[in-house]
Amino acid sequence: MTGAPTPAPRIALVLGASRGLGFALARALGAAGWQVVAVARTEGGLEELDDAIRAAGGPQPMLAPLDITNLDAMRHLCRSVFDRWGRADLWVHTAIHAPPMAPAGHIDPKDWERALAVNARAPGLLIPLVEPLLRAAPAGTALFLDDPRAGQKFFGAYGATKAAQIALARSWQAEGARIGPRVAIETPAPMPTALRARFFPGEDRSRLTPCADEAARLMPLLA
**What is the set of domains in the chain, with CATH numbers?**
11-222 (3.40.50.720)
Distance CA 14, CA 97 (A): 16
pLDDT tens profile 97-149: 999 999 999 999 999 999 999 999 999 999 999 999 999 999 999 999 999 99
pLDDT score for 3: 53
pTM for the whole thing?
Answer: 0.94
Alpha helices in 59-210 (DSSP H): 71-85, 109-115, 122-135, 156-175, 194-199
By C-alpha distance, which of 177, 157, 161, 174 is closest to 102?
157
Per residue, what are the HEC states of 137-154? CCCCEEEEECCCCCCCCC
